[in-house]
């Protein structure tokens, strides 16, 4: 199974290469390979991650060619906008028209859209986001894998089921050998080319040890590694970058500093943001976002979350619903609503139409079994499959009843690829940030 289709190099400008991908040209950054025009490469998150022998590339491209264009047709059909606006409030239509024209929406406009209540108007918001996703990103959909390497955590986030206060879960920490083996298996057996390594803030792993693991994976597999280990400190970020990781997933969870301080005892939003900004400066691609529906959050906070996320220049936005865990102080609070998350994804697409990759989170799938489909039709274009070994997976219980806790990797792939095909999406990833040449 292949999750990234190779493209042919058309031009090389120092570290930036132009890749032809079924007639479309995309740019990617090359750091590791000796490349020439005419070579075939796979890219993830805008980084060339492997050179593919011509024969192998030709076979993959041929296998995909016909289906790729069929998928494009399906996607085009599904993302067409129904312009019959007879049940649509004039103001809603006007704001969405402005978004489609690429005009900047004011905060009042975004608030108005977030507060839409009539089903046909909410549907039009989602369809507009899907139209913009198709317009700028075509039918490409990133499929990343995630390995949850440890559920130990020294932090006390009030909403999190694996925070240090929860004494009622089984803690685990994968050995470096197990992590490397799981990553290599995900790449070689299942075709993943981008993996997130995630854990709580685990004092059992130093930055040096994590670097050793990253190097170990890079030695054996061609893969974009995204780190998600919490606040490692600035030196830690540098160390992991030097080891070969090129992406960081770190949500700020809320843009409201007071609410942040309440939810994260002893922590400050500024410190979190400093990590994200420093990671960007170092050259990491950034994946960030917030929790929707967290107790104490207002609509204004949610709109600020979208604004802050955009300011952080992310490669990928990630918004998920708050889900109360019984072992936390927020156990009795109501969960976030899937419609609100979908609205936030759609608004993120409206405000950053051309750049945003937007993830469909597992938490959204947990709160709504049709969440992946809904998310992909509301502006989303990235999914993440859980490739943590099954014996550990159920213990990474940041919220209860997490989707895919018991699903094998093959069954997740089968379900996801079948859904993507039904929506006309191709599991490809040759996209790049506009400013990739800057690093």
Please, what is the minimum distance in Å from the beta carbon of residue 265 to ligand SF4?
10
Bridge partners, residue 321, by sequence:
292
SS3 of residue 340 by DSSP:
helix
State the nearest-atom distance from the C-beta of 395 to ligand SF4, in Å. Answer: 12
Taking the least distance from each CB to ligand SF4, the nearer of 119 and 233 is: 233
How far apart are the C-alpha atoms of 112 and 107, rounded to whole Å? 9
Chain-centroid distance, C-alpha 341: 14
Considering the complex, state which of residue 125 and residue 160 has its C-beta at the smaller distance from ligand SF4.
Answer: 160
Q: Is 109 helix (H, G, I), strand (E, B) or coil?
A: helix
Interaction between residue 230 and ligand SF4 (CB under 6 A): yes
Nearest to 1 by CA among 190, 214, 273, 218: 190
- How many CB atoms are closer than 10 A to CB 391? 10
Nearer to ligand SF4, 43 or 398 (CB): 398
What three-state secondary structure class fits 26? strand
If binding means CB under 6 A, how many residues of this protein chain bind ligand SF4?
10
What is the largest distance, in Å, between two alpha-carbon atoms of the chain?
Answer: 61
Name 62's Cβ contacts closer than 8 Å, sequence gap at least 6: none
To ligand SF4, the closest distance from the beta carbon of 312 in angstroms equals 18
Q: Nearer to ligand SF4 by C-beta: 92 or 198?
A: 198
In whole angstroms, the minimum distance from the beta carbon of 29 to ligand SF4 comes to 30
Separation between Cα atoms, residue 149 and residue 31, nearest integer Å = 27
Closer residue to ligand SF4 (CB): 157 or 183: 157
What does DSSP say about strands 40-44 and 24-29: parallel, antiparallel, or unpaired?
A: unpaired
CB of 14 to ligand SF4, least distance (A): 38
- DSSP secondary structure of 225-273: EEEE-S---HHHHHHHHHTT--EEE---B-S-HHHHHHHSTT--HHHHH
Q: Are 185 and 233 in contact (CB under 8 A)?
A: no
Q: How far is the CB of 52 from ligand SF4 (least distance, A)?
A: 36
Q: Give the total residue count for the chain.
A: 439
Q: Where in 163-222 is the site for ligand SF4 (CB under 6 A)? A: 163, 200-201
x/- mask, ligand SF4, residues 15-54, rule CB under 6 A, reads: ----------------------------------------
Closer CB to ligand SF4, residue 162 or residue 430? 162
Whole-number minimum distance, CB 403 to ligand SF4, in Å?
A: 18
Of 398, 409, 430, 436, the one binding ligand SF4 by CB under 6 A: 398
Residues 333-392 that bind ligand SF4 (CB under 6 A): none
Q: How far is the CB of 405 from ligand SF4 (least distance, A)?
A: 16
Reading the block at residue 369, the tokens are 């079994």
Task: Spell out the residues 6+ positions from residue 361 whose beta carbon is closer than 8 angstroms to its own.
Answer: 318, 319, 320, 321, 341, 375, 384
Instruction: Convert residues 91-120 into a mask of x (bound to ligand SF4 by CB under 6 A) and - (unbound).
Output: ------------------------------
SS3 61: helix
For ligand SF4, the binding residues in 139-168 under the rule CB under 6 A are: 153, 155, 157, 160, 162-163
Q: Which is nearer to ligand SF4, 324 or 379 (CB)?
A: 324
Backbone phi, psi, residue 369, to 5°:
-55, -25
Is the CB of 16 or the CB of 158 nearer to ligand SF4? 158
Q: Which is nearer to ligand SF4, 184 or 333 (CB)?
A: 333
Q: How far is the CB of 198 from ligand SF4 (least distance, A)?
A: 9
**Contacting residues toward ligand SF4, per CB under 6 A:** 153, 155, 157, 160, 162-163, 200-201, 230, 398
């Amino acid at each position: 199974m292949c999750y990234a289709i190779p493209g042919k190099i058309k031009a090389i400008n120092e570290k930036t290469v132009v890749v032809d991908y079924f007639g479309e040209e995309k740019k990617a950054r090359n750091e590791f390979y000796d490349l020439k025009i005419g070579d075939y490469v796979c890219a993830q998150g805008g980084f060339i991650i492997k050179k593919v022998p011509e024969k192998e590339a030709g076979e993959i491209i041929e296998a995909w060619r016909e289906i790729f264009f069929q998928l494009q047709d399906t996607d085009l059909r599904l993302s067409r906008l129904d312009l019959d606006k007879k049940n649509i409030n004039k103001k809603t239509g006007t704001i969405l028209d402005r978004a489609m024209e690429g005009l900047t929406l004011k905060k009042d406009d975004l608030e108005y859209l977030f507060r839409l209540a009539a089903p046909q108007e909410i549907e039009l918001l989602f369809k507009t986001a899907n139209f913009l996703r198709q317009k700028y990103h075509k039918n490409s959909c990133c499929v990343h894998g995630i390995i949850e390497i440890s559920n130990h955590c020294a932090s006390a986030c009030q909403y999190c089921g694996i925070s240090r206060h929860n004494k009622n879960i089984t803690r685990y920490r994968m050995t470096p050998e197990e992590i490397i083996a799981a990553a290599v298996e995900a790449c070689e057996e299942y075709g993943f080319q981008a993996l997130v390594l995630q854990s709580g803030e685990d004092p059992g792993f130093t930055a040096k040890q994590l670097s050793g693991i990253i190097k170990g994976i890079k030695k054996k597999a061609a893969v974009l590694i995204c780190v998600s280990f919490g606040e490692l400190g600035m030196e830690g970020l540098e160390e992991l970058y030097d080891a070969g990781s090129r992406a960081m997933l770190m949500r700020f969870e809320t843009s409201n500093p007071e609410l942040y301080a309440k939810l994260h005892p002893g922590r400050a939003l500024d410190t979190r943001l400093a990590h994200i900004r420093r990671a960007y400066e170092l050259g990491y691609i950034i994946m960030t976002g917030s929790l929707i529906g967290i107790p104490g959050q207002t609509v204004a906070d949610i709109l600020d979350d979208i604004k802050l996320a955009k300011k952080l220049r992310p490669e990928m936005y990630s918004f998920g619903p708050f889900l109360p865990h019984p072992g936390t102080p927020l156990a009795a609070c109501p969960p976030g609503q899937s419609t609100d998350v979908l609205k936030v994804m759609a608004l993120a697409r409206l405000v950053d139409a051309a750049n945003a990759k937007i993830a469909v989170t597992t938490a959204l799938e947990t709160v709504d079994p049709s969440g992946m489909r809904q998310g992909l039709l509301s502006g989303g274009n990235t999914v993440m499959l859980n490739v943590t070994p099954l014996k550990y997976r159920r213990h990474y219980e940041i919220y209860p009843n997490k989707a895919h806790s018991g699903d094998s990797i093959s069954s997740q792939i089968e379900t996801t690829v079948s859904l993507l095909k039904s929506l006309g999406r191709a599991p490809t990833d040759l996209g790049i940030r506009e400013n990739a040449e800057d690093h």
